[in-house]
Each structure stands twice: as structure tokens, then as C-alpha cells.
Structure 1
Amino acid sequence: MNYLNYEKWLRCQLLPNLPPNSVIVVDNASYHNKQSDPAPTANAKKVYMKKSLQEKEIPYDENMLKPQLFSLIKAHKEQHKTYSIDKILSNHNHSVLRLAPYHPDLNPIKMAGAAIKGYVSSKNVNWSTGKVIELVKEKVAAMGAPEWGRLCQKIKEIEAEYVKSDHVVDLVTDEFVIFADDDCDTDEESSDDDDGLDYDSEKTITNTSSASADPRPGTSSSFDLMERISILPLD
């Protein structure tokens, strides 16, 4: 799949069949995220950098050098990012919602796909392509609104578990940063080492995420991230 084919399908197949004011949920595939007006890269000419800043009404000094102009572009890049499919759908009064990247467990479509694959693998005893297509259609037809509703509810429950565990991630991050900073002081004192590596530092950082690690002096206790985070089973 590429963007041109996806846009053709979107215009010819999806749009004519959407109810008014729909929300289209997409994942992070590249063809979903083609930018309609991408920001200049670091290799762009200075005149194009200035033009981009002017169009987005971002103030800059005419005497700025390219690295300074590009720093401004990067600082405002996210807030001015626009996507081609968003514009197409917006013109028809629809909106787009993007799924969180690297979180298939928060994507009901992935769960539905897993259910279809499981059904096909359990029924397709002769491994023929025709039988696979038949079984996919059979399972899709059987997956009505109630089953989709259950998948969406499970996603909400998993999301709630993540929210409850956010503070644990903060604690792990804080301890990691504190330990790393402490070891940086040690590195300065032992900077005469030939290889430049601080093996004690590597061991310490590993221990902060290990269930069997002893707490370092001056800290309350060591803990295992996976013991604190409870993820709802998918099955």
C-alpha cells in the first residue's frame, strides 16, 4: 500500500459510505500520515526556510543564519503539522483520530485481526488460499456490533490500567536519573581509565530495573517495574 492508492480508496470507497460527521480512526502507517505541507529540512535553502516561517507567521530575524532558522522551524514543527487525509476528510465534515504509536494493545482493530487469524488457523486444515479467504469472510461476517463493543471495552480497561501505573514509570525514571547523575560524579574522579568505561556505572543502571538488585545506599528501596504494572490479559 502507498499513499496514492490509499487516497484513491479513501475518496472512491470510504467517503461515499461514511455517515455524516464521522470519526475515522487510523494507525501510524506512513500512508495515513503523509504531510500536506511538510516543514523544510536542514538541507533546504535559506529562502525556503524563511518562506515557511512567513507562511506560518513565525517571527524571525532577517540576519539569522540557517542553523538558527532551522531551530525555529523545529521548535514550531509539531503545532503546524498537517496531514493530507485530514484535509480531505475535513472538507467532508469528518475528523481523524490517530492511535498511540507502538501500542497495538490499545488498538481494537489489532485485536479483531488476532481473532480472525486464530479462527482461520483453527479451521484451515488443508492450508489452501481459497479456504483462507473463505474463512476470513466467514469470521468477519460473524463479528457484529456486540463483539466489536466488547473489544472496545477491553481497550478502555487496558488504558485505565496504564493510567493507574503512570506514577510507577515516574518513580523508575526519577531513580534512574538520580543514579546516573551519581555515577557521573564518579566518572569525573576516575577519568584516567584507559578505556573510558565505568563498569560500576553500567552495573548500577542495570540494577535499578532488576528485581534482584539491592537498593543503593541513600535510597529507600529497589523495585521491579513489572511487579508494579498490571496489564489486563488480552485473552
Structure 2
Amino acid sequence: MSYDNYIKWLNEKLLPNLPERSIIVLDNASYHNTRAEKMPTSATNKADMQQWLRDKGIAFERNLLKLELYDIIKKHKDQHITYKIDDFIKSKGFDVIRLPPYHPELNAIENIWGINIDQNTTNMETLINESLNKVTSETWYKTCTHVEKIEKEYLKYFDVDFEFVIDLQNDSDDSESEFENYVSDSD
């Protein structure tokens, strides 16, 4: 997978099939992390460092050495990182949530990939579609519930009080009532 292939897949397959106001959860795959803007490095020339700081509205003294400018940049760099894919998805009217690095257990789809996925790459798209069709709503529900359990365990270590609410609204009354029945039956 590459950034260009991922954009093509988003445009042709995913985004046209999502309801409005959907949220796309991204993990840390390299094709999700192509930066929208090149960040200054210690090798960046002084004038470009100064311009980056000005563009970001970060105060600095004009007489600072390049090394001192770079120290300021390092302190502010993380809050100014943007990704091409996030900008692209947002331009299409969707929101993005990024999973923390090195935590695939918080990504429900990681548990789904292992279900009946054949490693033969000859006809990968057909194999993926066949495999995904084997994932039932019950399997997906249990997988998401498992991820929520892990999240709650992690949150014990933080002094925060918040709750994620995922609204599974659907235009069809039938599918809403089916989901509500499933949830109440499984409780």
C-alpha cells in the first residue's frame, strides 16, 4: 500500500459509501503518515527556520543563532504536524481520529484481519471481500466491545473523566431496530 493507492481506494471505495459526518479512524501505517508540510530539521537554513516560526505565529528574537531557533522549533514541532491524508479526508466532509502509535489492540479492525484471511495475493481484492463478508455483525460487535474493555483498563491510569459515544444512526428504521434488539438480547 502506498499513499497514492490509499487515496485512490478512499475516493473510489470508502468515502462514497460512508454516511455523512462519519469518522475515519487511522492507525499509524506509513501511508497514513505522509506529512502535509515538511518540518524544519537541524540542517534547515536559518532563514527557513525563521520563516517557519513566523508562519506558525511563534515568537523569537531575530538575533538568535540557528541552534537556538531549532530548540524553539523542537518545542513547538509536534503541535504543528499535519498529515496529507487527514487534510484530504476533512476536505471530503469527514472527521479523523488517530490511534496512538504502537497500540494495535485499540484498533478493532486488527482483530478482524486474522479471521479467515488467506495470504495468497493472486486475487487479493476478491479474497478480502470474501473474508470481510464472513465478519458478522455479532463478530464486529464483540470485537469493538473487546477494544472498549481495553480502553477502560488503560483509562484507569489517567486522571480524566470522559466517555466516547458512537452514534450508530442509520436512515433505515429496520437496521436500527435490529441493532437495538441485538444489543438488548446480548446484555
Shorter-chain TM-score: what band?
0.7 to 0.9
Q: Which has the bigger relative contact order, CA under 8 A and spacing at least 6? A: 2
Q: Determine which of 142, 145, 155 is the counterpart of 2:137.
A: 145
Which residue of the partner structure matches residue 200 of structure 1?
none
Measured in 2, the distance between the counterparts of 1:2 and 1:132 equals 16
Structure index of larger Rg: 1
Measured in 1, the distance between the counterparts of 2:125 and 2:92 equals 33
TM-score (norm 1): 0.60
Measured in 2, the distance between the counterparts of 1:129 and 1:141 equals 18
Which residue of the partner structure matches residue 149 of structure 2?
157
Which residue of the partner structure matches residue 101 of structure 1?
101
Q: Which stretch has the larger CA shift, 137-146 or 22-31?
A: 137-146
* 1:116–1:136 CA contact under 8 A, matched in 2: no
Measured in 2, the distance between the counterparts of 1:12 and 1:138 equals 19
* 1:37–1:82 CA contact under 8 A, matched in 2: yes
Do the aligned partners of residues 35 and 131 (structure 1) sit closer, same or farther apart at CA in structure 2, a change above 3 Å counting?
A: closer
Q: How does 1:210-229 map to 2 (within 5 A)?
A: none
Unaligned residue ranges in structure 2 (runs of 5+): 159-187
Which residue of the partner structure matches residue 81 of structure 1?
81
Which digits, 9 at most, give the CA deviation of each residue in 1:51-107, with x for residues without a partner?
111111101111011111111111111111111111111122211111121122222
Q: Secondary structure at the match of 2:49?
A: helix
State the Cα distance separating 1:32 from its structure 2 match: 0.3
Do the aligned partners of residues 133 and 54 (structure 1) sit closer, same or farther apart at CA in structure 2, a change above 3 Å counting?
A: closer
Measured in 2, the distance between the counterparts of 1:55 and 1:6 equals 30
Measured in 1, the distance between the counterparts of 2:9 and 2:154 equals 35
| Percent of aligned positions that are identical | 41
Which residue of the partner structure matches residue 226 of structure 1?
none
Do the aligned partners of residues 133 and 76 (structure 1) sit closer, same or farther apart at CA in structure 2, a change above 3 Å counting?
A: closer
Q: How does 1:109-188 map to 2 (within 5 A)?
A: 109-117=109-117, 137-164=129-156, 166=157
Measured in 1, the distance between the counterparts of 2:152 and 2:77 equals 31
State the Cα distance separating 1:135 from its structure 2 match: 6.5
TM-score (norm 2): 0.74
Q: Which stretch has the larger CA shift, 68-77 or 14-23?
A: 14-23
- Aligned residue pairs total 158
State the Cα distance separating 1:136 from its structure 2 match: 5.3
What's the RMSD between the two structures over aligned residues?
A: 2.5
Unaligned residue ranges in structure 1 (runs of 5+): 122-127, 168-235
